[in-house]
Amino acid sequence: MNRWEEIYNNHAIHATVVWVKECVTTEFDDLDALEVTEKRRFLKIISKYEDVLSKIDPELI
């Protein structure tokens, strides 16, 4: 791994995305149908961020 990949992979954005995903996937007993829909939608947004971050070339950032 070159230094740019190492710097990129150790950037705080990756830990932040993982943390947000863990928070959102926490199970709650009292969610109504609308909240479940919004939770699913938010998880899709997080997945899009993960996709974009995985496709970025560390040497160009």
Rounded to whole angstroms, how far apart are CA atoms 19 and 13?
Answer: 10
User: How much is the pLDDT for 28?
Assistant: 83
pLDDT band at 61 (very low <50, low <70, confident <90, very high): confident
- In the chain the first and final C-alpha atoms are separated, in Å, by 16
Q: With helix as H, strand as E and coil as C, how does 18-52 read?
A: HHHHHHHCCCCCCCCHHHHHHHHHHHHHHHHHHHH
Give the pLDDT confidence of 1-58 residue by residue, as tens digits. Answer: 799 999 999 999 999 999 999 999 988 888 899 999 999 999 999 999 999 999 999 9
Residues 5, 30: Cα–Cα separation, whole Å: 42
- pLDDT at residue 31, as a whole number: 87
The pLDDT of residue 1 is 77
Radius of gyration, alpha carbons of the chain: 15
Q: pTM to 2 decimals?
A: 0.81
